Chain A
Amino acid sequence: MNADELDAVYTALCRAMTAVGEARAPLLLARFALLAIVEIADADRLQQLIAAAAQDLTDPTAGSGS
């Protein structure tokens, strides 16, 4: 996947989230994560990715963006 393709997928996800609305966007992300999990299908790699996603988020204000 090149930078333009990454960009396009990123934007598609943003638009899908916008379309379902803020209240249901976390569910959309959860479903997307689940589909990505079964697609990646590498348990060790997935454990690392979950840890990487959680990293730095223990501070409750981290990543709030506002």
Chain B
Amino acid sequence: MPYPFVPERFPAVLPPLGDGVDRVRHRVAIVGAGPVGYCVAIGLAVQGISSVLIEADDSVCAGSRAICISRRSLEILDRLGALPGFLSIGLPWTGGRSFYRDREVLRFTMPNDANQRLPPMLNLAQYHIEQILLERVRELADRIDLRWRTRLTALESQADGVRARLTTPLGDYTLEADWLVAADGGRSAVRESLGLALAGTSYEGRYVIVDIAMPSDRPTERLAFFDPPCNPGSTVLVHKQPQDVWRIDYQLRPDEDAEAAVQPANVLPRVESLLAMLGETADWAPIWISLYRANALTLDRYRHGRVLFAGDAAHLVPIFGVRGANSGIDDADNLAWKLAAVLQGLASERLLDTYSEERVAAARENLSYGTKSTEFMAPPSFAFEWMRTAVLGLAVRHEAVRSLINPRQTSPIAYADSSLSRVVASAPDFRAGPAPGHVLAEAPLQSIDASARAPVRHDGYLTQRLGSHFTLLHFAPDGTLPADLGGLDAEMRGLGIRWRTVVIGAGMDDATGRLWALYDAARGASYLVRPDGHVLARWRQCHANDVRLAVARVLDRVGERKGGA
């Protein structure tokens, strides 16, 4: 049975050539139109930067891949203008349950409270993810030149750009670009052509991944079954996807043959016995069967001259904890504003070294959590196996050990140790609120539209005030900016810096009153937020010169020359 989705097929297109070379030298070439490549292209387009996007295939992806999109990713997708499509198709969820044999041993919820606008997690198939992003790319067609059935076969990296050798059914050509973003996945051709290799750990434990079509009213949650009666000795995971598609993952025994294990004759009875245990009685049909083995691998650096790596091309994170696509979307978000700032002449290219610095650190954190999850879900030695059995058996009666079963789902990464988080001396007198490097905490806002003849109250949320620009969040009970800060908007925009000042106070405030406490804000407090939503600096009392200096250091720090270099 096929997936309930028919992808549109696209032909190859050759650009005008001169001597076998694309006549246009591009500012940015992005290799790989997957979720990460799309997000980089859209992020650049929103910043005013054009790119060419190369995809080897002729359609959005097929098959079973990423299905869980985190709240943090949804915030990013909102800034990219793609959120409505995700919310209209995806299934929101907040937690899950784990069972040992026939006993429930853990009920977990992901962080969620009344301040939130977006669900902690949203399930949808990767073809949905790519289709929604593709539609956004089409809206931005004047800035994104998407070329299907175009495969990179060789890459020459130069001091001021790249020369990429491309092959299409219509013929081969060379493409030149100032910068190249490698978003071409786990088997990255760009990575291979530069002779780079991922380093880390590959796990032996194997999982069969099965997508089935089955109507069911069962809620959207993560279900984990350890040593279940339906499949003794195995571990089984169940996730709901839109349109009556269900994802079932189960662990193979070490002695099982991989080829035999994915044969329908071996898979279907196991799924059937799981569904019987769950009490599902509707007719069902398999759609997809594949084998998965966890990897925890990364490059040491994501910038190699004029080539920048993102997503699976840069790192492979275990599926447990759903950090794969989500960390790739985070890469794209971190990269787009920095690359745009460099291309617009606002920052030196050393700003892109902070992309590598921040996202390699993020990957190591993601890998550390992903490794923990994998060690529990696919124990790599007898010791992990014994200890897991001990945890599961004790968890029935001893609540204190249950946190060890928690799947450690993806959560926002803080760039606390980043050099960008240290451009302003820290303000240790804040007792709450996001410190430099952290993402904003969500809170409801109500605004009054002054342009309407009668004031209209809009319900909204703080993160909706962010965009692909720097944001100065200023707290003033009377809703007015001090004269000192009043000219910053025009000044920054005059420098070509995308900028917005948001005043929290009369006119726009949190009707529930929680926001000020959440940010430990008093009159005059300010948070300066990067275009990717991370806090750059904060002040109890902020002066325009503080802000100017912070921005200059982020864009120019970069210009700070080490003596003698």
Q: Which residues of A contact B (CB under 8 A)?
A: 3, 6-7, 10-11, 13-18, 22, 25, 52-53, 55-57, 62-66
Chain B residues touching A, majority SS: helix
Cross-chain contact B383 with A17 (CB below 8 angstroms):
yes
- Select from chain A the residue with minimum beta-carbon distance to B389: A65
* Contacts known (A18-B382, A18-B383); A6 close to B403, Cβ less than 8 A: yes
* Residues in A whose Cβ lies below 8 Å from that of B388: 65
Q: B381 touches which one: A14, A57, A62 (CB < 8 A)?
A: A14
Cross-chain contact A14 with B403 (CB below 8 angstroms):
no
Q: What 16 additional pairs, Cβ within 8 angstroms, besides A6-B403, A66-B233?
A: A3-B406, A7-B403, A10-B391, A17-B386, A18-B382, A22-B382, A25-B386, A52-B397, A53-B394, A55-B397, A56-B393, A56-B396, A62-B393, A65-B227, A65-B388, A65-B389
Report if B517 contacts A (CB, 8 A).
no
- Select from chain B the residue with minimum beta-carbon distance to A25: B383
Per the bound structure, the CA–CA distance linking A63 and B100 in Å amounts to: 10
Cross-chain contact A14 with B375 (CB below 8 angstroms):
yes
- Select from chain B the residue with minimum beta-carbon distance to A4: B403
- Select from chain A the residue with minimum beta-carbon distance to B384: A14
* Residues in A whose Cβ lies below 8 Å from that of B391: 10
Per the bound structure, the CA–CA distance linking A22 and B406 in Å amounts to: 26
* Residues in A whose Cβ lies below 8 Å from that of B493: none
Report if B404 contacts A (CB, 8 A).
yes
Cross-chain contact A18 with B389 (CB below 8 angstroms):
no
- Select from chain B the residue with minimum beta-carbon distance to A29: B386
Nearest first, the 4 closest Cβ-Cβ pairs linking A and B are A17-B383, A65-B389, A3-B403, A18-B381
Cross-chain contact A15 with B383 (CB below 8 angstroms):
yes
Q: What are 11 residue pairs bridging A and B, where the CB atoms are less than 8 Å apart in the complex?
A: A6-B401, A7-B403, A14-B381, A14-B387, A15-B383, A17-B383, A17-B386, A18-B383, A65-B227, A65-B388, A65-B392
Per the bound structure, the CA–CA distance linking A18 and B380 in Å amounts to: 9
A57 to chain B, nearest CB (A): 8
Chain A residues touching B, majority SS: helix
Cross-chain contact B397 with A6 (CB below 8 angstroms):
no
Q: B390 touches which one: A3, A18, A63, A66 (CB < 8 A)?
A: A63
Per the bound structure, the CA–CA distance linking A16 and B436 in Å amounts to: 37
* Residues in A whose Cβ lies below 8 Å from that of B65: none
A44 to chain B, nearest CB (A): 18
B215 to chain A, nearest CB (A): 34
Report if B398 contacts A (CB, 8 A).
yes
Report if B22 contacts A (CB, 8 A).
no
B312 to chain A, nearest CB (A): 26
- Select from chain A the residue with minimum beta-carbon distance to B406: A3
* Residues in B whose Cβ lies below 8 Å from that of A63: 389-390, 393
B386 to chain A, nearest CB (A): 7
* Residues in B whose Cβ lies below 8 Å from that of A64: 389
Report if B172 contacts A (CB, 8 A).
no
Per the bound structure, the CA–CA distance linking A23 and B401 in Å amounts to: 26
Report B432-465 residues with CB < 8 Å from chain A CB: none
A16 to chain B, nearest CB (A): 8
B493 to chain A, nearest CB (A): 43
* Contacts known (A52-B398, A63-B393, A66-B233); A13 close to B404, Cβ less than 8 A: no
* Residues in A whose Cβ lies below 8 Å from that of B381: 14, 17-18
- Select from chain B the residue with minimum beta-carbon distance to A19: B383
Cross-chain contact B398 with A18 (CB below 8 angstroms):
no
* Residues in B whose Cβ lies below 8 Å from that of A56: 393, 396
Per the bound structure, the CA–CA distance linking A11 and B368 in Å amounts to: 12
Cross-chain contact B390 with A6 (CB below 8 angstroms):
no
